[in-house]
């Protein structure tokens, strides 16, 4: 069958993109390597949209939770992942969990039923030179294709590991304890938030890192290139009492305004998004278990009430430096016939990957029909996620990110408790207007 667009990768994002295109009659080829003799280290079978780990799409609360809001927006756009998820749903309280086999079978059944889609079990080893393409090969992209993407984008723009430092909501940091200053007052002079520690606090903190419960590296993760370049903070702590004080917790050139002196050690946070709502803990990538991170990091002076937009981690994960490489429509700036979708763009999670797949599907539909693309509003979950990937995030510390309210334009005048409802209310109103306008454009 000849086709108008080629989708590479039949996971969450590729399947959702295929659905958005295929149900509008666009002819497409969906290439999935599993079932054709290849697999990834995490997938078990050959089904489309296989869930590689948990069976949860997380919270389904669309009034107080950002991922629940994303579910809501995806349902309004007739998402296949949401539709199949509903049919495969199993009880999980306020979360949305699914029977993974039923879910994958439903996705595959719906796509196979669309006459304009050809599903081919094949591995693609290089980006096509021409023809509209969506690359949705995920965090475990086949090595051959990853190498080719590396050549096209420049190797330093493609990561093989995420080394995620925890990210904190700015409004949960106690600025009566912390202060803003760049080391030696360089740059703007006030680029970092600094949390000071005295000797006793530092030693107790280091001990906490040594004693804390850690996650294991899988065998295929330890063999991944570049791992040496992003050492977990607890491994640094093991190397000696002062290693951290000469590394990420170095206090030199930072004058605590309360003492006029350099503290014994310091934890620095750097702005992580243009809105200034999210700040990452510099150099704090870690394999500590999540509960342990929350407990230990809240012992840092000034972070006692810290709310984390995401916790630290290190995983095998292929992703692009999207804020630099992709345009607002997720096209490679240097080869605009190629779009990227899903986790390879640097979103994180099943739902987010599917949402970005959905958006690329809509973008490609518009492009084929010659319509101008109007992005979803910045105040919606989809719009906030897209804006983060395509330019809001800091490019030099870009790491995969779940959707969260820290990505939304802030509503600071409200009390914290009212804010979540206010975010979702604003999002629903703005998204509704965008949708009405989208529906006026014939597919």
Ligand X SMILES: Cc1cc2nc3c(=O)[nH]c(=O)nc-3n(C[C@H](O)[C@H](O)[C@H](O)COP(=O)(O)OP(=O)(O)OC[C@H]3O[C@@H](n4cnc5c(N)ncnc54)[C@H](O)[C@@H]3O)c2cc1C
For ligand X, the binding residues (CB under 6 A) are: 8-14, 31-34, 40, 42-43, 52-54, 123-124, 136-142, 145, 342-344, 349-350, 353
Is the Cβ of residue 18 or residue 296 nearer to ligand X in the bound state? 18
Question: Minimal distance in Å, beta carbon 9 to ligand X?
Answer: 3
For residues 146-177, one letter each, b for 16 or more C-beta atoms within 10 angstroms of the residue's C-beta and e for the rest, the string is bebbbeebeeebbbbbbbbbbbbbbeebeeeb
Question: Minimal distance in Å, beta carbon 319 to ligand X?
Answer: 9
Question: Minimal distance in Å, beta carbon 144 to ligand X?
Answer: 7
Is the Cβ of residue 146 or residue 443 nearer to ligand X in the bound state? 146
Question: Minimal distance in Å, beta carbon 358 to ligand X?
Answer: 11
DSSP string, 385-417: HHHIIIIIB-GGG---B---GGGSPP-TTS-HH
Q: Is 73 left (phi over 0), alpha (psi -120 to 50) or beta?
A: alpha
CB 366 within 8 Å of CB 419: no
CB 112 within 8 Å of CB 80: no
**DSSP 8-state symbol, 11:** S
Q: Name residues whose C-beta falls within 8 Å of residue 115's C-beta, 6 or more positions apart in sequence.
A: none
Is the Cβ of residue 37 or residue 91 nearer to ligand X in the bound state? 37
Spatial strand order in the sheet of 179-180: 179-180, 192-197, 265-271, 278-281, 167-169, 308-310
User: For residue 57, which phi and psi values (nearest 5 degrees)?
Assistant: -95, 15
Question: Minimal distance in Å, beta carbon 163 to ligand X?
Answer: 15
Question: Minimal distance in Å, beta carbon 328 to ligand X?
Answer: 20
Is the Cβ of residue 68 or residue 302 nearer to ligand X in the bound state? 68
Provide the CB-side half-sphere exposure for 312 (13 A, CA).
26
Closest by CA to 347, choosing from 310, 380, 377, 376, is 310
Dihedral Cα 153, 159, 160, 162, nearest 10 deg? -160
Question: Minimal distance in Å, beta carbon 316 to ligand X?
Answer: 6
Is the Cβ of residue 350 or residue 398 nearer to ligand X in the bound state? 350
DSSP string, 163-200: EEPPEEEGGGS-TTT-EE--GGG-TTS--EEEEEE-HH
| Position with the least CB separation from ligand X | 11
Question: Minimal distance in Å, beta carbon 47 to ligand X?
Answer: 9
Question: Minimal distance in Å, beta carbon 104 to ligand X?
Answer: 10
Is the Cβ of residue 220 or residue 246 nearer to ligand X in the bound state? 220
Is the Cβ of residue 15 or residue 181 nearer to ligand X in the bound state? 15
Return d(Cα 128, Cα 259) in angstroms, integer.
60
Is the Cβ of residue 194 or residue 402 nearer to ligand X in the bound state? 402
Return d(Cα 81, Cα 78) in angstroms, integer.
9
Crossing angle between the packed helical segments 80-87 and 350-369, to the nearest 10 degrees: 140
Is the Cβ of residue 405 or residue 434 nearer to ligand X in the bound state? 405
Closest by CA to 67, choosing from 408, 318, 330, is 408
Provide the CB-side half-sphere exposure for 427 (13 A, CA).
35
Is the Cβ of residue 232 or residue 342 nearer to ligand X in the bound state? 342
């Amino acid at each position: 069958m000849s086709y108008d667009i080629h989708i590479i990768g039949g996971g969450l994002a590729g399947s959702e993109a295929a659905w958005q295109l295929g149900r509008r009659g666009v002819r497409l080829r969906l290439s999935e390597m599993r079932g054709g003799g290849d697999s990834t280290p995490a997938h078990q079978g050959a089904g489309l949209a296989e869930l590689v780990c948990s069976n949860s799409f997380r919270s389904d609360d669309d009034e107080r939770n950002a991922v629940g809001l994303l579910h809501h927006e995806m349902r309004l756009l007739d998402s296949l992942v949401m539709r199949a998820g509903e049919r495969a749903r199993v009880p999980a309280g306020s979360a949305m969990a699914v029977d993974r086999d039923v879910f994958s079978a439903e996705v595959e059944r719906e796509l196979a039923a669309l006459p304009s889609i050809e599903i081919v079990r094949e591995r693609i080893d290089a980006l096509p030179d021409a023809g509209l393409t969506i690359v949705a090969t995920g965090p475990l992209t086949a090595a051959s294709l990853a190498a080719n993407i590396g050549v096209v984008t420049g190797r330093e723009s493609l990561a093989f590991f995420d080394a995620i430092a925890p990210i904190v909501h700015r409004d949960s940091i106690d600025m009566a304890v912390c202060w803003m200053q760049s080391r030696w007052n360089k740059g703007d002079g006030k680029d970092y938030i600094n949390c000071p520690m005295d000797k006793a606090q530092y030693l107790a903190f280091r001990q906490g890192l040594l004693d804390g419960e850690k996650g294991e590296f899988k065998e295929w993760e330890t063999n991944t290139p570049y791992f040496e370049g992003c050492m977990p903070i607890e491994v640094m702590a093991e190397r000696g009492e002062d290693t951290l004080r000469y590394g990420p917790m170095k206090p030199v050139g930072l004058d605590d305004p309360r003492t006029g002196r350099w503290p014994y050690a310091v934890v620095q946070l750097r702005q992580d998004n243009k809105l200034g709502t999210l700040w990452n803990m510099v150099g704090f990538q870690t394999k500590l278990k999540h509960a342990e991170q929350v407990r230990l990091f809240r012992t840092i002076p000034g972070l006692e009430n810290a709310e984390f937009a995401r916790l630290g981690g290190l995983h095998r994960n292929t992703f692009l430096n999207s804020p630099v490489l992709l345009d607002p429509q997720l096209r490679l700036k240097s080869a605009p016939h190629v779009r990227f979708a899903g986790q390879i763009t640097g979103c994180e999670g099943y739902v987010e990957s599917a949402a970005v797949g959905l958006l690329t599907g809509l973008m490609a539909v518009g492009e084929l029909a010659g319509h101008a693309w109007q992005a979803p509003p910045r105040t919606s979950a989809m719009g906030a996620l897209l804006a983060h990937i395509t330019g809001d995030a800091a490019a030099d510390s870009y790491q995969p990110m779940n959707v969260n309210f820290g990505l939304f334009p802030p509503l600071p005048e409200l009390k914290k408790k009212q804010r979540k409802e206010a975010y979702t209310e604003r999002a629903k109103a703005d998204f509704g207007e965008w949708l009405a306008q989208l529906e006026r454009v014939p597919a």
